Amino acid sequence: MVTFQAASDHLHPNACGKASCVKGGIGFMFYTSLTLLALGIGGVRGSMTAFGADQFEEKDPNEEKALASFFNWLLLSSTLGAITGVTGVVWVSTQRAWHWGFFIITIASSIGFVTLALGKPFYRIKTPGDSPTIRIAQVYSQSLFHFSSLKNALTINYSLIYGLNTMFSPRNIF
């Protein structure tokens, strides 16, 4: 939507130097496209790392090394994408036209989506376990219950808190 609006001159708002110039259908399309863009980026950034990490078996030593390699490649590709975005795409946007910069981003995102969709048969999709809300509530209830004194704070039942075992208890640390 942003690419289409940037390419169509009749969808540009009148230039008046204020935010109030963006009105009516043009404003609705503009703000809707920015909202969808923000939701899409937020959804990808928030789930990409966890989804990638789910593709590896934590108990297998070979896959544990591959998991570390995955995070290295993820960081490298994110950094290279950011560098390309702030140099190449900005250069195209300023030297040619805005819509060409948006078009490059649209094509790159589409290629990424198609690649993701084609790989679906090979993904390990883990079934969700307990509700994350229950896990958070367990942590809060334990912390509130044992907040009254330092002695109680050091005797938290760590077996009730998801993902922690007794080796991390304060008794073993101190």
Predicted confidence (pLDDT) per residue in 30-63, tens digit:
888 888 888 888 888 778 888 888 888 878 888 8
103 within a domain of the structure (yes/no): yes
Burial class (CB in 10 A: 0-12, 13-18, 19+), 102: buried
80 within a domain of the structure (yes/no): yes
For range 14-30, the mean pLDDT = 76
* 0.85 exceeded by pTM: no
Domain identity same for 136 and 99 = no
Query: 11, 5 in Cβ contact below 8 A?
Result: yes
163 band by pLDDT with thresholds 50, 70 and 90: low
State the pLDDT at residue 174. Answer: 45
Domain identity same for 39 and 83 = yes
State the pLDDT at residue 79. Answer: 92
152: domain range? 132-173
91 band by pLDDT with thresholds 50, 70 and 90: very high
Largest CA distance in the chain: 70
| Domains contained in the chain, number | 2
36 within a domain of the structure (yes/no): yes
Q: What is the DSSP string of 110-168?
A: HHHHHHHHHTGGG---PPP-S-HHHHHHHHHHHHHHT-S-HHHHTT--GGGSTT--GGG
Domain identity same for 8 and 50 = yes
State the pLDDT at residue 114. Answer: 93
From CA 16, how far away is CA 77, in angstroms rounded?
Answer: 40
Domain identity same for 14 and 44 = yes
63 within a domain of the structure (yes/no): yes
Query: 141, 147 in Cβ contact below 8 A?
Result: no
3-state secondary structure (DSSP) of residue 106: helix
Domain identity same for 41 and 94 = yes
Domain identity same for 151 and 100 = no
Domain identity same for 83 and 105 = yes
127 within a domain of the structure (yes/no): no
Q: Pick the residue with more confidence: 73 or 6?
A: 73
**Cα–Cα distances in Å, from 12 out to 100, 103, 164?**
15, 17, 55
